[in-house]
Amino acid sequence: MTLRDAARAACLSRTFLRSWRCHPNLILDHGILFQLRHVLASTVNHIFENHSGIGVKTLKLDFSCYHEPKAYSYLHRWLRIAVTPGTEKLVVLSASDVAFNFPCSIPSDGNGITIQHLHLVDCGFHPTVSLVCMRSLTVLHFDRVAVTGDELGYLFSSCVALEQLKLRRCSKITCLEIPFELERLSYLQVSVCHKLRMIKNEAPNICSFDFLGDRIEISLGDSLRLKNLDVLCNNVLRYACEEFPSSAPNLETLSIFSRHEVANTAMAFTPSKFLHLKYLSISIAVAYDYLSLVYFLDAAPSLETFKLCVLTGLRPADELLLEDPSQLRQMSGYCHHKLQTVKISRFCSSKSMVFWRQIYQMLRLG
């Protein structure tokens, strides 16, 4: 039901009016707030005043259509009215060209003690040690949030229940340190944080890690529970070969997307480094010595699914594929009996059939 229809129904029915005032979820998205732009203060004030003291479990405010700083004074007020000890999910989106700082004092006075899901977009978040109390937080999602690594540290110190952490386009973070106390943290996503130079993880139970960005120093710590790894960055293939088997020995799924690689860089394995790997997906956006990827297969005897994708429109590595079949590289003898699915796509050269034939022979699918 649209806001207009809800208002009409409330005028006609006192029962509906009472239920509307007690409704636990308030989602004021971009479309609704844009329609109310001429009567924003009076209408939305009325909505929040009707909910004052009742408690809102889910609150979403999409202010991305407002570019006047004056409107954000209302936002501060509405957050203080609506966020109560019963609030569980809070989503706030502001405009990218407005310097709006999320009021960290809201969770400090006891209001935020039940917040389980916090999602902020295009705002500042500047807590201090004394201004954070989010012991029930399980999901934290920051997108284009102005926050430093130290400020995240203040937040982490009180988020012992945190299970999912997503950081996207947070340009002020240079070092991300995840403490051991976050024992429940199982999912970590870090995407396009351009100034980030190091990730140091000490949380012991991370199962899935997604990373998108430039090559940086990554210390996974005690990552015996890490089973799913998704990485998109430059020059990652050799790094994956040399680092991931030892730093994440129990990987079951590995997805790699590389936009740039140093061609003709030989990779060498001792067999059986990815002992538990079942799913391997490699996407490459450059001409490359594709046959060297055979070493990934040599290191994954338990593989069930293998996917290789080379983006179209790129010059295939014709020069890198050997003309003499006698020089084709050989596997070290593993029979991939568990392999069920092989998909090699988007090659645009007839010479790539050499690659297909060798993969077919090496995996012994016939």
Domain positions in the chain: 229-366
pLDDT at 184: 96
354 pLDDT above the threshold of 60: no
Any idea which residue has 């009180």 for tokens?
Answer: 158
pLDDT at 179: 94
pLDDT at 17: 53
352 pLDDT above the threshold of 80: no
Asked if 321 and 287 touch (Cβ cutoff 8 Å), the reply is no
d(CA 43, CA 170): 33
366 pLDDT above the threshold of 60: no
Confidence of residue 316 (pLDDT cuts 50, 70, 90): very low
The pLDDT of 302-313, averaged and rounded, is 82
Confidence of residue 135 (pLDDT cuts 50, 70, 90): confident
The pLDDT of 166-190, averaged and rounded, is 96
Confidence of residue 284 (pLDDT cuts 50, 70, 90): confident
The pLDDT of 90-107, averaged and rounded, is 86
Confidence of residue 142 (pLDDT cuts 50, 70, 90): very high
The model's pLDDT over 8-54, given as tens digits with 9 standing for 90+, comes to 555 655 555 555 556 678 877 766 666 655 556 666 666 666 666 56
Between strands 25-28 and 58-62, the pairing is parallel
> What is the chain's mean pLDDT, rounded?
78
Asked if 281 and 296 touch (Cβ cutoff 8 Å), the reply is no
Supply the pTM of this predicted model: 0.82
121: three-class secondary structure by DSSP: strand
d(CA 167, CA 184): 17
- The better pLDDT of the pair 186, 104 is held by 186
User: Virtual CA dihedral for 18, 22, 27, 28, nearest 10 degrees?
Assistant: 50
Helix axes 3-12, 14-21, angle to 10 degrees: 130
Across 36-40, 214-218, 293-297, least confident range: 36-40
Across 72-81, 304-313, 333-342, least confident range: 333-342
- The better pLDDT of the pair 307, 313 is held by 307
226 pLDDT above the threshold of 90: yes
The model's pLDDT over 317-349, given as tens digits with 9 standing for 90+, comes to 444 444 455 544 455 555 677 888 888 887 655
